[in-house]
Amino acid sequence: MEKVLIIGGGVAGLSAGIYAQKSGYKSIIAERHDKLGGQLTGWQRGGYHVDNCIHWLTGTNKNTALYKRWKELGMLGGVDIIKAESLYTYEKGGVRLSLCADIKKLENDMLAVAPEDVGEIKALISAVETVKKFSGTGGENGDEKLSLSDILFRCPSLLRYSLLTVGELANMFDNKVIRGFLCSLLTKDFSAIALLTVFATFTSGNGYLPAGGSLKAAQRMAERYLSLGGSAYCNKEAVRLNVEKGRARSVTFADGSEISADAFIFTGDPKMLFNKVIDGDMPFKLKRLYKSKAYKRFSAFQCAYSCDLALLNFKGDFIFEPRYKFKKLTGSDYLVLKEFSHESSFAPENKTVLQAMVVVDENRCRDFIDKYRDKERYDELKKAYIDVITAAIIKKFPKLKESLYLLDSWTPATYRNYTLTETGSFMSFAFKGGVLPKKVSGKIPGIKNAFLATQWQHSPGGLPIAAECGRRAVELILSRRVSGGVEKGAVKKARFGYSK
């Protein structure tokens, strides 16, 4: 039985491992952290559970191919889906507006807030409906798909939005609440078509939450992998891929051990692989993405608090604009709060976890990472962020002052330390308006039997893309099936059980 060694046990690595096992390989996952899951994780702090990853999971609509894939991977199937009434709520000047699961209610709420923008609101809602039907999740039952003639007819209306950033889209509206509502989720520099996709995903029932949160989801995927006969080693950091005559032979690890295999899959940030673990430059198309001004890397500073559940007057995610001091330090206009009343096991009775997130740009990511080398300077920077965030929360919700207690905080440096991404990113590239996100092959030039399976191959990354890249890496191995060093060229996609 041919052996596949997978470096990295996040979603891409677990996906690759599951499909490798289903395709008749013997796979081994080597993960540098002490648990599998990568970014899909959570942890305990003083009787509370902190959830790191899922704000919404694309693929919860049972009519979609992605739902079937998540079932196959263990992410979904046999687990309750939490169906929130709204994805997020934005507030400005005492006026609130929520992204509702009911798209008709969303339209009516937007019109009630901004009757002066009736034309743009109706055009936006129509575009969201079109995106839903593109993905086969349109209509009342979330299963309608556009015919070819409809696609040709509706494409021009979507082209308008594909050329815009979120900020440019927002500026087409006169009402300030609508502008803030549109900009607050993905930030103003992201592609407008990405925002429409989020709206379409949630309003089609395709962006809900798996019960139990991120850590439980990772554990289900790991259990599925192990149940298929896969092997996994944690606290196992790869330091060098050993190559002879254009073929990878083994990987050397930080503990001095070495594992040989017939094929190799690398799932990490390519910036931390090439010219480090893998001798040589990264593929040209990937290198171009890292250098392009149209693609940006980002991360976040986050805090987790405990508070009295009864004192919160919102559900799910709540976004608002703190005062100038917050923006001056963080570079962001918006603070995102998330409450976890939907997960009663995350906190003691009558309490809940309240998490705060502020998105930071690449320069601020590097500032955290640089200061991490000096504990005093790093702690000072963390404290500055914690102070402005805590002050902003108490200013917005004065009743929380007595019950708000800091549980934990984490930074781009934290993400770099645990998941080895160069800038501490938890997704890949944000892309601007007018840019179509590119897919990059998992082939590594010059090495016949080593492949990439990483969210950095397709913007903007995230869980579904990571899982898909893991699957495609195994397809590449199947297409060049390796046996005793001889290429057989056998493609066995039928083992996957569904079409692309």
For residue 411, give the 3-state DSSP assignment. coil
DSSP-derived secondary structure letter, 84: -
For residue 328, give the 3-state DSSP assignment. helix
pLDDT tens for 358-373 read 999 999 999 999 999 9
Class of domain 3-41+217-293+436-496: alpha beta
Pairing of strands 3-7, 263-266: parallel
pLDDT for the residue numbered 481: 66
Q: CB-side exposure of 427: number of CA atoms within 13 Å?
A: 24
Examine the pLDDT at 320 and tell me if it is beyond 70: yes
User: Closest Cα to residue 367, out of 337, 407, 411, 409?
Assistant: 411
Examine the pLDDT at 204 and tell me if it is beyond 50: yes
Q: Per DSSP, what are the bridge partners of residue 3?
A: 26
Identify the H or E element spanning 317.
Answer: strand 317-320
Return d(Cα 180, Cα 174) in angstroms, integer: 11
Examine the pLDDT at 483 and tell me if it is beyond 50: no
pLDDT for the residue numbered 196: 96
Domain boundaries, the chain: 3-41+217-293+436-496, 102-175+191-203, 298-419
Question: Got the DSSP string for 423-486?
Answer: T--SS--EE-TT-PPPB--SB-TT-TTEEE--GGGBTT--HHHHHHHHHHHHHHHHHT-EETTE
Segment 253-280 shows an average pLDDT of 97
Question: Got the DSSP string for 224-239?
Answer: HHHHTT-EEESS--EE
pLDDT tens for 277-300 read 999 999 999 999 999 988 999 999
The residues, any chain, with a CB within 8 Å of residue 446's CB and separated by 6 or more, are: 246, 280
pLDDT tens for 81-117 read 999 999 999 999 999 999 999 999 999 999 999 999 9
Return d(Cα 209, Cα 275) in angstroms, integer: 39
Is the pTM here over 0.75, yes or no? yes
The residues, any chain, with a CB within 8 Å of residue 118's CB and separated by 6 or more, are: 111
Return d(Cα 429, Cα 457) in angstroms, integer: 9
Q: In angstroms, what is the C-alpha Rg of the chain? A: 23
Q: Per DSSP, what are the bridge partners of residue 361?
A: 298
Q: Contact, 411 vs 405, CB < 8 A?
A: no
Which amino acid is located at 350 in the chain?
N
- Polymer length in residues for the chain: 500
Q: Contact, 32 vs 277, CB < 8 A?
A: no
Sign of CA dihedral 148, 150, 153, 158: negative
Neighbours of 61 (CB within 10 A): 22
Inter-helix orientation angle 375-396/362-371, to 10°: 130
**Residue percentage of the chain with pLDDT more than 70:** 92
pLDDT tens for 405-422 read 999 999 999 999 999 999
Return d(Cα 304, Cα 340) in angstroms, integer: 11
Q: Per DSSP, what are the bridge partners of residue 352?
A: 307
Question: Got the DSSP string for 62-83?
Answer: TTSHHHHHHHHHTSSSSS-EE-
Return d(Cα 47, Cα 348) in angstroms, integer: 7
Distances (CA, A) of 302 to 333, 354, 376: 15, 11, 19
Maximum separation of any 2 CA atoms in the chain, in Å: 70
Examine the pLDDT at 344 and tell me if it is beyond 50: yes
User: Closest Cα to residue 296, out of 199, 364, 368, 381?
Assistant: 364
pLDDT tens for 173-198 read 999 999 999 999 998 999 999 999 99
Return d(Cα 291, Cα 279) in angstroms, integer: 20
Examine the pLDDT at 1 and tell me if it is beyond 80: no
Examine the pLDDT at 77 and tell me if it is beyond 60: yes
DSSP-derived secondary structure letter, 264: E
**Residue percentage of the chain with pLDDT more than 90:** 86
Return d(Cα 39, Cα 62) in angstroms, integer: 25
